[in-house]
A and B are shown apart, each in its own frame.
Chain A
Amino acid sequence: MARALINVPAKAKRGEIIEIKALISHPMETGYRTGPDGALVPRDIINRFICTYNGVEIFSADLFPAIAANPFFSFTTTATESGRIAFRWIDDRGQAHLETAEIAVE
């Protein structure tokens, strides 16, 4: 559905607080705007964002129509173990976009 940019540090020390950034392209169409023909453009927003760390949810958010296009998330977590951080965005059409990043914890 989209193109995403994610930033997870490739390496971290155990117990270190790391910053994670996730940016995705999406029109976040509110459902309140009219098109050139005067009819309402159907709502199409990302309504859910979930981030998991080795399968355990560490961050999630519900999104609403007032959130701008191309939503950007930045949050922190504690580096506990090496593994995979996965990102999932779900929009009104039921489409999901997945991204993953590996992190090595020493």
Chain B
Amino acid sequence: MRRALTGVVLAAGFGGALGLCISLALAQSPPSEHKSGFEFISPESQATQQDDFSNPGMLWVAEGEALWSAQAGASGRSCAGCHGDAAVSMKGVAARYPVYFAESGQPIDLQSRINVCRKVNQKAAPFPLESRELLALSAFIGKQSRGMPITTGEDKRLEPFRARGQELYEQRQGQLNFSCANCHDDNWGKRLASSVIPQSHPTGYPLYRLEWQSMGSLQRRLRNCMVGVRAEPYPYGSQEYVELELFLMTRAKGMPLETPAVRP
């Protein structure tokens, strides 16, 4: 639903400056032209991501590895107690999330799935969303699929949720009245203030963002953009984020997972 294929679009910097420019708005890029955000960052940041001894995301991966084999909750079981070696059991898992979760009849993202396991199988308190522990475990599990192609969305039951995610992606919102697609489909590769607008493929989450000086989830990143267009972000853990993630991951199908990625 690319509204303006050619024509005049209003481009607005997050700083608030409004400028009028003629734009040959691009339709959503075909898979062959999919570019990871990695291709838009500086060579220095790329080098940081690619070296496991300088990628700060690896600190979270190391913490996740420790949590993986730590006993938790009334069950006294660790993740490893059931799942064994994560390098085997978790290989490819993050590359297919969000998945359809039959118990709830809805898609579920990796972080919430970890918490279901904690609650039901370990009989432990779920980790708060965006907590260090949950990011660490997600990063550790995500890293087991690093380099593997994204396969999200193969389950047919996910289709209505994916479609809802696409609707959210294309829906204008906020005081600036922008949809995600207005920037990330129609104007990727151009600049918003000094930053290059990427195509918004969530290939490296959770990722280390230099601006945050920390690891963060895709939900945190989506909130950033929503605040940017002066919209009210959905609360953490809301279904909208899962549907958006499902749409974005399906759209990024075939791209290699980069977790833990580094972004400015």
Interface residues of A (CB under 8 A from B): 3-7, 21, 23-25, 28, 68-70, 72, 74
Contact = CB atoms under 8 A, between A and B. Distances in A.
A23 B63 contact: no
A68 B213 contact: yes
Nearest to A26: B59
Contact of A3 (B51, B59, B210): B59
Contact of B59 (A7, A23, A74): A23
B74 interface: no
Given A21-B53, A23-B53, A5 B213 contact: no
Contact of A70 (B52, B53, B56, B62): B56
Contacts of A74: 54
Contacts of A6: 53
Interface in B212-244: 213-214
Nearest to B62: A3
Nearest to A74: B54
Interface residues of B, number: 12
Nearest to A20: B53
B58 A5 contact: yes
Chain A interface mostly: strand
A36 to B, nearest CB: 15
A46 to B, nearest CB: 14
Contact of B53 (A3, A7, A28): A7
Given A68-B210, A68-B213, A70-B213, A23 B62 contact: no
A5 B210 contact: no
Interface of B: 51-54, 56, 58-59, 62-63, 210, 213-214
B54 A21 contact: yes
Contacts of A21: 51, 53-54
Nearest to B212: A69
A69 B53 CA distance: 16
A76 to B, nearest CB: 14
Nearest to B59: A25
Contacts of A69: 213-214
Q: Which 4 A-B pairs have the closest CB atoms?
A: A69-B213, A7-B53, A25-B59, A70-B56
22 contacts: A3-B62, A3-B63, A4-B59, A5-B52, A5-B62, A21-B53, A21-B54, A23-B54, A23-B56, A23-B58, A24-B59, A25-B56, A25-B59, A25-B63, A28-B213, A68-B210, A69-B214, A70-B56, A70-B59, A70-B213, A72-B54, A74-B54
Nearest to B48: A72
B262 to A, nearest CB: 11
Contacts of A5: 52-53, 58-59, 62
A6 B53 CA distance: 7
- Residue among B56, B210, B213 with the highest chain A CB neighbour number at 10 A: B56
B188 to A, nearest CB: 28
A82 B58 CA distance: 28
A7 B63 CA distance: 17
Given A3-B62, A6-B53, A25-B59, 20 more contacts: A3-B59, A4-B59, A5-B52, A5-B53, A5-B58, A5-B59, A5-B62, A7-B53, A21-B51, A21-B54, A23-B53, A23-B54, A23-B56, A23-B59, A24-B59, A25-B56, A25-B63, A28-B213, A69-B213, A72-B54
